[in-house]
Amino acid sequence: MLHVFRGGSSSGDDVAKRLPPTTSGATVNDGEANFDSNDETDDRQYEFSGRHLLGSYSACNPVAIRDLAGLTAAFRAAVRASGATLLHAVEHTFPPRGMTAVAVLSESHASIHTYPEHNSCFVDIFTCGDICSVEAFDETLREFLRPKMHSCRIIRRHENMSDELPSGVEAAA
């Protein structure tokens, strides 16, 4: 659940005038239309737990990692595949072909940071609760980028953090 702070009695136009302009190459997808005024009266209790996937992809397909429009579409498709709800997304291009994208999700966040000069990137997604599939996010991005090497870590976050083992891997004795 996302709660939007509406400080003071300023109108949205007043707030917009005080914000710095976006950086060249950055696009902002404003999810203000997704604001639910009923959030203020929502008394549901949510579990203090979530899953955080951290991934490193190396030796990616050189065409795919430089295809900024395709990569943006794949990133958003990966968020959808996870089952998460996209609230806002920002993409920034680092000329000539680098990109960082960050998604604010109802469940938390996701990001990708590319290094096309190395045909590599870092990805992450954190989702609160157990409903979303961080594995589906990872699989969708790997289908697009086709890394020859990838490493992934999933951390169960709660009062105490712990690593999850990928399926098919047994804990060392």
What residues are annotated to the active site?
108, 113, 128
How many CA atoms does the CB half-sphere of 159 hold within 13 Å? 1
Distances in Å between the Cα of 27 and the Cα atoms of 2, 34, 66, 154, 167 are 21, 18, 18, 29, 37
- Residue 26's SS3 state is strand
Tokens of 166: 């990928």
Separation CA 75–CA 4 (nearest Å): 25
Residue 24 · residue 91 · CB < 8 Å: no
Q: What are the start-end ranges of the E strands in the chain?
A: 26-29, 50-58, 86-94, 98-105, 108-115, 120-128, 149-157, 162-164
